[in-house]
Structure 1
Amino acid sequence: MGKLIYGFNVSVDGYIADARGSIDWSDPNDEVHQYWNDFERDTALAFYGRRLYDLMSDYWPTADEDPDATPLIVDFARIWRDMPKVVFSRTLESVDWNSRLERGDPVEVVTKLKAETGGQLEVAGATLAAPIVQAGLVDEYRIVVSPVAVGGGLPFFPNLPSWISLRLLENRTFPGGTVLLRYEARRD
C-alpha cells in the first residue's frame, strides 16, 4: 500500500494561490526548490487535477532546453517528465509526459491505486485534493509556508467534515523565512 502525501507551498494565511490564481508569490529559493526536487524524485505516482496539470505541462516538459535554465530547473524538468502521473479531467482529450487520463471519481480511483501502488504517492492541487482530504485518504501533509500573506484565494485545506488530528514529523526553516511543517494524519 502506498503512502499518500499532500504538500504545497502555502502563504502564511493558508492559501496555495491568491485571489487571481497566481502562485508567483511562492517563488522558492534554491534550497526549497531542491527540497521539492528530492520529494518528486521519490514519488512513485502523482495525482493531478486538470488546472495544475495544465500549468505544469505548459512549462516543465521543455524547461530543461532553455539555455538559461539553472541546474535545479533542469533536474526538476526531467523528474517531472518521467514521473508517472494520473490526470483527472472531464475536458482534456489526451495527456503526455508519462501521464494517463482519468475521468472517474477521484476518491474511488485514489483509493484503488493507493492499495495497488507501493511507495510515495502525491496528490497535487487543492481542488483535486479537497475530496481526497475530506475522505481521509491523505497519510501525510507537507506544508511549506512562505512568509507572505495573500489575503484570500485557493486554500490548502478544504472545508472539513470534522477535525483532522495531526502529529508533527518534521519542521525545518529555509533561508528567507520559509518553513516546512510535515505532519502525519493520526488514525487513533
Structure 2
Amino acid sequence: MRKLTYGMNVSLDGYIAAPGGGIDWGVPSDELFQFWSDQLQATELTLYGRKLWQTMSSHWPTGDQQPDAGPADVEFARRWRDMAKVVFSSTLDKVDWNARLFGGDAVAEIARLKAEDGGPMDIGGAALAGAAMRAGLIDEYVLTTSPVLVGGGTPFFAALDGSVSLRLVETRTFPGGVVLTRYETRR
C-alpha cells in the first residue's frame, strides 16, 4: 500500500492562500525551496486538485527557461515535468506534462491508487486533500508554517466529522522563521 502525504506552505493562522488566492506571503528561502524539491524527488505520484494544478502548470513546465531561473528552479522544473501526476477535475478537458485527468469519484480513485503497489504519493489542493482527509486516506501531514497571519482565505485543514490522532515525527526551522512540522496519522 502506498503512503499518501499532504504538505504545503501554511500561514500561522492555518491558511494556504490568503483571501483572493494570494500566496506571496509564502515565498520560500532557498533552503525551504530545496526541501520541497527533495520532497518532489522522493514522490512517485502527485495528485492535484484543479486550482493547484492550474497554478503549478502555469509556471513549472517552463520554469527552468525563465531569465531568473537558478539551478534550484531548473532542478525543480525538471523533477516536476518528469513525475507522474493525476489531476482531479470535472471542468478541465485535458492536461499535459506527464499527467492524466480524472473526472470521477476522487475518493474512490485515491483509495484505489493507495491500494496499488508503488512509491509514495503526495496530494495537493485544499478541496481534494479535504476529501481525502474526511475519508481517512492521508497518512502524513507536512506543514511549513510561515510567521505571518493572513486573516482568512483557503484553510489547510478541512472541516472533519471527528478528530484524527497524529504523531509528531519531525520539526525543523528554516530561514525567515518558517517552521516545518511533520505528523503521521495514528491508525
Coarse TM-score class (shorter-chain normalised): over 0.9
Detail structure 1 runs of 4+ shifted over 6 Å in the superposition.
Answer: none
Q: Distance in 1 between matches of 2:31 and 2:125?
A: 22
- CA apart distance, 1:20: 1.0
Q: 1:136 matched to which residue of 2?
A: 136
Q: Distance in 2 between matches of 1:117 and 1:77?
A: 26
**Identity within the alignment, %:** 58
Q: 1:165 matched to which residue of 2?
A: 165
Deviates more, 1:63-72 or 1:136-145: 63-72
Q: Please state if 1:155 is matched with 2:159.
A: no
1:113-167 CA-partner distances (Å, limit 9, x unpaired): 1111422100111111111001110000001001111000000000011011100
Q: Distance in 1 between matches of 2:11 and 2:136?
A: 23
**Which structure 1 segments of 5+ residues have no match?**
none
| Matched AA of 1:26 | G
Deviates more, 1:139-148 or 1:66-75: 66-75
Q: 2:111 matched to which residue of 1?
A: 111
Check the 8 A contact 2:50/2:125 in 1, yes or no.
Answer: no
Q: Distance in 2 between matches of 1:138 and 1:77?
A: 26
- CA apart distance, 1:68: 2.0
| Matched AA of 1:11 | S
TM (norm. structure 2) is 0.98
- CA apart distance, 1:66: 1.7
**Which structure 2 segments of 5+ residues have no match?**
none
| Matched AA of 2:98 | N
* Corresponding residue SS for 1:61: coil
Q: 2:31 matched to which residue of 1?
A: 31
Deviates more, 1:32-41 or 1:126-135: 126-135
Q: Distance in 2 between matches of 1:111 and 1:63?
A: 32
Name the count of aligned residue pairs. 187
Please give the residue correspondences for 1:1-188 in structure 2 after superposition, counting only pairs within 5 Å.
1-187=1-187
Q: Distance in 1 between matches of 2:161 and 2:174?
A: 33
RMSD: 0.7
Q: Distance in 1 between matches of 2:119 and 2:126?
A: 22
